[in-house]
A = this chain, B = another copy of it.
Amino acid sequence: MKLFDPLKIGGMTIPNRIMVPAMVTHLCKEDGVVTQDTIDRYVRYAAGGAGLIVVEAMAIHQVKSGPLLRIRDDNYIPGLRELTQKVHATSDSKIVPQIIHFLKVARSGWRQTADMLSLAEIDQIVEQFGDAVRRAREAGFDGAELHSAHAYTLSSFLSRANPRTDEYGGDSLEGRLRLIGRVMENVRRKAGWDFPVGVRINAEEFIKDGYTVVDSKHIAVRLAELGADYISLSAGGKFEDAVHTPGQVLFPYNGYSGDRCMPGDWLPRALHAGIAAEVKAHLLSRGHRVPVAVAGKLDAPRDAERVVAGGMADIVGIARGLLADPDWPIKVRSGEADRIVQCDYCNVCKALDGTHRTVICALWPQGSIQAPADDPAVQAPKWAQAEASLTAIPNQSRVELKWPKAAGAATYQVYRADEQGDPQMIDAVKVTFWVDSGVLGGHTYRYFVRPCAATGTPGQRSTTATVKVPAPSYMAAA
C-alpha cells in the first residue's frame, strides 16, 4: 500500500503516511506540564506505528485555559524532552508539537477578536511563536506545526471574516496573510531553516462569509513560498457559529463548522478529501511539491489508501480512528484490519473535550484513560452457544435488534446491508441491543453483530437477521 511509503518532510522522514492530528487530551494539569499520562498517550501512538504524531496544541503565551499543554517558557522544555525521548525510544514515529496562540474567552460568551489586538500585541505573538518553536527544537521534537486552523489566532487573521481594517486585514488576502507570514519568518530565524515546520490551516471555514477552497488554494501557495515543510488541511471549528452554553466559555466545535471539523456519524466519510485534492492540484500546478495532509473521517483503510494513492493528499490525518485504536497502522499494514477497534463517530471524545474532561474513547474498557495494549494472548470473544441468534424486529419505522452476551466481548459492532449493498458497520456499542431508525419502509435489511475484545480481536459474527420493514400505508398507491 502506498500508505506505507516513507515520505521526506524537510529534514525529517516519516516512515508512513499516517498522521495523528493534534487532539486535546486534558491529561496534563492546569500548569500545562507534561505528565506521565501525557507521555503514555503519545508513546501508545508510537507503538502503534503512526508515521507522524502531532502532539496536542501547546500554548506560547501565559493565559488561563485549563489543562492544556504549554511551551511558553524554557521551564517547559524538560517535560517535553522526556516526551520526545520516550516516543523516539519506542518506534521510528516522528513527533512534532502543535504550537498555538489563542485569544481570550469568557464564561459570559464574550470573546476577544482579532481586531482587539494592538500592533504591539501582534509583534509579541510573532516573537512568541518563534521562541516556542526554538524550544520545540531544544526539546527534541522532529519539527513543529503552527496551528493556523479552527478558532485560534492565526486562523482568525487568515479568515475571510477577519474584521481588522489595517495592514493585518483590511479585506485583502495579503492583509489576512500578514500575521502567518511574519510568524514563519520569526520561526525560521529563531529555530533555523533546517527544522521542519508545518502549518495547519482550514481548507474551508464553513461559516457565513468564511473562506472556501477559492482562497485556500492561494493561502497554500503562500505557505509553500514561505517554506512550510508540510501543509495540513482541516476545516471549520470556528467560534463564529459556536452555540453558547450559559456559564461556559464558547466551544468552537459545537456549531455547524464544528460538525464539519469533527464530523459525527451523519456526515459522509472522507468528507474533505475532494477539497484537499483541489488544493494539492493547485500547488502542483504552481510548481510546489510541499506535502499536503488532510483529515476528516479517513479511518476506513480503503479511503486512506485511495487518498494517498490517488494523489489527493500525501498524508492522511486520522484523529478519532487512532484514538479508538492506536494500533490502526500496524494492523492495516499486517493485513489485520478486521481487528481494528473501529471508531463509530459517537463523539463522546468531542463532548469530553468540550467540557474540559480527560479525553478518552467510549470504546475503551470502562475506567481506562488509555487504549488497551494489544495482547496476542487475548482470546476472541465467545458466544455461549455455537450460534448466536440475532433478532431484528421492525417496530414503527425502526428495527430493534437484540443479541446474547458474548464472553470476553468489550464491544459489539453492528452491521447492516440493504438489498443491493455490502454490509457496513453502523455502530459499535457495549450493550446487547440496538435500534435502527434509519431504515426505509418497504425495504429488506440484513443485520449481523460482531463481538470484539477490547483489543479489537473479533469473535464469530452472530446469525444474520433479515427483516423486511413494512411500507408506510401511503405507499400502497405507489
Contact = CB atoms under 8 A, between A and B. Distances in A.
Given A181-B472, A442-B225, A396 B167 contact: yes
A310 interface: no
Contact of A256 (B241, B267, B439): B241
B268 A440 contact: no
Contacts of A274: 274
B256 A182 contact: no
Interface of A is mostly: loop
A92 to B, nearest CB: 30
A437 interface: yes
B212 A266 contact: yes
Interface in A283-326: 285-287
A477 B188 contact: yes
A256 B181 contact: no
A122 interface: no
B472 A174 contact: yes
Contacts of A172: 396-398, 437-438
A398 to B, nearest CB: 6
A274 B266 CA distance: 18
A443 B45 CA distance: 42
B286 A214 contact: no
Interface stretch (A95-103, A137-145, A202-210): A202-210
Given A184-B478, A474-B185, A439 B174 contact: yes
A225 B418 CA distance: 15
A226 B478 contact: yes
A243 interface: yes
A259 B208 contact: yes
A173 B266 contact: no
A400 B172 CA distance: 13
A189 interface: yes
A267 B225 contact: no
Contact of A477 (B174, B189, B469, B475): B189
Q: Determine how many copies of this chain the complex contains.
A: 2
A285 B191 CA distance: 55
Contacts of A174: 397-398, 439-441, 469, 472
A405 interface: no
A472 B178 CA distance: 8
A17 interface: no
A222 interface: yes
Max count, chain B CB within 10 A of own CB: residue among A160, A188, A214, A215: A214
Interface string A235-258: 000000101000000000011111
Given A160-B266, A420-B286, A477-B188, A397 B211 contact: no
Nearest to A215: B266
A225 B474 CA distance: 12
Contacts of A189: 477
A57 interface: no
Name the 10 nearest CB pairs between A and B, nearest first: A174-B397, A172-B437, A172-B397, A185-B474, A208-B256, A181-B474, A182-B474, A173-B438, A226-B478, A212-B267
19 contacts: A160-B266, A170-B397, A172-B398, A174-B398, A174-B439, A177-B472, A184-B478, A208-B254, A208-B255, A208-B259, A210-B256, A212-B267, A213-B268, A214-B266, A215-B438, A226-B475, A274-B274, A285-B420, A286-B419
Given A177-B440, A241-B256, 12 more contacts: A167-B396, A171-B437, A175-B397, A182-B474, A184-B478, A185-B474, A208-B254, A208-B256, A212-B268, A226-B478, A256-B256, A285-B420
Interface of A: 160, 167, 170-175, 177-178, 181-182, 184-185, 188-189, 206-215, 218, 221-222, 225-227, 241, 243, 254-259, 266-268, 274, 278, 285-287, 396-398, 419-420, 437-442, 469, 472, 474-475, 477-478
